[in-house]
Structures are given as C-alpha cells and as structure tokens.
Structure 1
Amino acid sequence: MKKLILIFIVLAVYQQWGRIDTYLNPPPDFASAHNGKAILYATSWCGYCKKARELMRQNGITYYEYDLEKSDEGVRQYKALGGRGPVPLLLINGKVIKGYNAGKILEYAGRG
C-alpha cells in the first residue's frame, strides 16, 4: 500500500512539475527591457503564434516579439523561461504561458 501511495505522489509531482518549477524558480524579468510589454516567443510559420498575435492586436495588448529562428537572445530567454517544445511562449506581467491559451493571455494582460 505504501508503494502505491508513493507511486501516486511521484506521478502527481511529475504531472505538475511545470507549475512547481515556476513557483520555486520565478521567471526572470525580461519584460523590463521592453518597457513592461508582453513578450511573444514565436516563429513565422506557427499557426498558433499567428493566433496569439491577432488576439493581442485585437485587444490592444502591446508586445515585443522574438522570432526564435532569427534571434539568439530570444532563444536564450525562451529556454530560461522553460521553453522546451512548441511555440508560442508568452511572458505577460511576469507570468509564463506555454502554448496558445486565449483566456490566460487576456487574463494575465488584464483584459479578461
């Protein structure tokens, strides 16, 4: 029984590691270099990146964009924020959003 509980705890920690890691290691303040604007880490060909751009434009959210295929600094920041997979990754008011999530984008930008 103790082994089963331990396995359950390990699986729960594994599934929530992104949240736990963000809590233990808050994201760096890259936005201060861009006058507090949201930052979008994206590629030119990504459909969800395009949707994120459109959503922010439609809602008056000012942002700075790093094209990860052209910017070494953008890649460095992307990795420092825990980016390991698909794009987009957004940094809005100190909070990281991995992937396209319209609700979180608007909420974190104070528009939701």
Structure 2
Amino acid sequence: MKRILLILAALALWQHWDRVEPLLGLSQPVPSQARTGEVILYATSWCGYCAKTRAFLAERAIPYRELDIEKSADGRRAYDALGGRGVPVIDVKGTVIHGYDPQSILAAY
C-alpha cells in the first residue's frame, strides 16, 4: 500500500512540477522577449482561442506583435522558453499568460 501511495505522489509531483518548482526556489526567471510596453502573442493560424485573443486585443486597440510558432523558428524557441504547452501564450510587458484570459491580459497591460 505504501508503494502505491509513493507512486501516486511521485506521479502527482511530476504532473504539477511547473507549480512546485517555483515554491522550492529551483526555477530560473524566464527572460521576457517583450520590450518595455510590448505585447507578444504566440499563436497558430488554426487556433480558435488565438483568434479570440486577436479580436480581444483589436477591440481594445492594444498593439501587439504576433509570432506563429509553427512558421517562425525564433517564435517557437521563445514560446518554448516561456514554458508554452498550448496556444495562445501572451507576453504582456514581461507577464506571461497561458491561454485566453481577458482579465489577466487587461491586468498585465
């Protein structure tokens, strides 16, 4: 029974390592690719939430630079460095937002 609990604890730790690592002080701060005041959208052409993010930024007249992670090698490297696991990823003045989250975008902007 102890062995099963240990395996389950290890699996949970592995699945949530991105949340545990900062608590342990092991993570290095990820350098932001955005210049001061810049918003960068890491996206793909087929992503529905990327389209919603584009529309949200356009409706609020927030200037942004878009990097398609499937077409730009530099965009893909930056996306990976930011811990990208899905799209969209938005770098708002150094604050990284994973997924479509209008409230977080406005708060960071």
Query: What band does the TM-score fall into relative to the shorter chain?
Result: 0.7 to 0.9
Percent of pairs identical after alignment?
A: 48
Matches within 5 A, 1:1-112: 17-19=17-19, 21=21, 24-32=27-35, 36-84=37-85, 86-109=86-109
Q: 1:81 to 1:100 in 2, by over 3 A?
A: same
| Counterpart Cα distance in 2 of 1:20 and 1:93 | 24
**Counterpart residue identity of residue 66, structure 2:** E
Q: Describe the SS at the equivalent of 1:30.
A: coil
Which structure 1 residue ranges, 5 or more long, are not aligned? 1-5
Q: CA RMSD in A?
A: 2.5
| Counterpart Cα distance in 2 of 1:22 and 1:88 | 22
Q: 1:45 to 1:80 in 2, by over 3 A?
A: same
State the TM-score, normalizing by the size of structure 2: 0.76
| Counterpart Cα distance in 2 of 1:80 and 1:72 | 12
Q: Is the 8 A contact 1:27 1:94 kept in 2?
A: no
Match of 2:3 in 1: none
Q: Is the 8 A contact 1:52 1:100 kept in 2?
A: yes
**Counterpart residue identity of residue 75, structure 2:** G
Q: 1:12 to 1:56 in 2, by over 3 A?
A: same
Q: Is the 8 A contact 1:27 1:96 kept in 2?
A: no
State the TM-score, normalizing by the size of structure 1: 0.74
The alignment covers a number of residue pairs equal to 106
Cα deviation 1:38-80 (Å, max 9, x = unaligned): 1000001100000001111111211110011110000000000
| Counterpart Cα distance in 2 of 1:12 and 1:31 | 33
Q: Is the 8 A contact 2:90 2:98 kept in 1?
A: yes
Q: Is the 8 A contact 1:41 1:74 kept in 2?
A: yes
